[in-house]
A = this chain, B = another copy of it.
């Protein structure tokens, strides 16, 4: 099974470890044995202008996943919304009302589906590829999340080279290591069976450190200074 999925993650943090805004949306192509990505593409946000209360992430993720899917023609697309794997093209208002999710979740999906449902329907008609709301059940979504952390670190290093310092909150229970010419990201949850990712970068001179976020257990903080 060849899966394209997408996720958004990595947050610029202030000195009290509170998020200022999210950094990277990433789409990945995941193939057997489903432990890392074969391909990845990233789109950066401006974390200083990010609306953390908004619902932009899932739309951005869908657009980026479609961009990658058009190129690599996967069997299926996995989005980071845990609706039991339902096809997005089937999410009309009565179907959303029948979902076993919170009222708030329904309100969000009534809004989101206005754009995403016709988009998914058209994409499916043209290509036969389904877009599923599978969320945390999907290993591919988790791999996209790990890559979002890696690309956020890549962005952070560039930022620190210019501004002197950066503090980034990584996605849940993952860590990164930096060695000559690449950033390696790894799940800290052995139950996931060894998920990881790797992205290349130019060699630079900087110091970095990774440690637990004191106010968000199981989340790590990455800091770099030039």
Contacts of A209 in B (CB 8 A): 33
Stretch among A20-28, A87-95, A101-109, A184-192 lining the B interface = A184-192
Once the chains are docked, how many angstroms separate the CA of A23 from the CA of B212? 28
Check if B193 sits within 8 Å of A138, measured CB to CB. no
Number of A residues contacting the other chain (C-beta, 8 Å)? 38
- Can you name the residue of chain B whose Cβ is closest to the Cβ of A17? B1
Stretch among A64-72, A110-118, A151-159, A215-223 lining the B interface = A215-223
Check if B217 sits within 8 Å of A34, measured CB to CB. no
Check if A139 sits within 8 Å of B3, measured CB to CB. no
Residues of A91-143 at the interface with B, using a CB-CB cut-off of 8 Å, are: 134, 136-140, 142
Distance of A18 from chain B, by nearest CB (Å):
10
Distance of A120 from chain B, by nearest CB (Å):
18
Contacts of A85 in B (CB 8 A): 215
Whether, in the assembled complex, A180 has its beta carbon less than 8 Å from a beta carbon of chain B, the answer is no
Distance of A77 from chain B, by nearest CB (Å):
13
Whether, in the assembled complex, A35 has its beta carbon less than 8 Å from a beta carbon of chain B, the answer is yes
Once the chains are docked, how many angstroms separate the CA of A140 from the CA of B212? 10
Check if A33 sits within 8 Å of B212, measured CB to CB. yes
Q: Mark A185-226, 1 if CB is under 8 A from B, else 0.
A: 000111111110000000000000101111111101000000
Distance of A69 from chain B, by nearest CB (Å):
16
Once the chains are docked, how many angstroms separate the CA of A172 from the CA of B17? 26
Q: A188-B193, A189-B190, A190-B189 are in contact. Are A214 and B139 (CB under 8 A)?
A: yes
Once the chains are docked, how many angstroms separate the CA of A22 from the CA of B134? 23
Partner of A217, one of B142, B172, B194: B142
Whether, in the assembled complex, A8 has its beta carbon less than 8 Å from a beta carbon of chain B, the answer is no
Give me the interface of A with B, judged by CB distance under 8 Å. Answer: 1, 3, 16-17, 30, 32-35, 85, 134, 136-140, 142, 172-173, 175, 188-195, 209, 211-218, 220
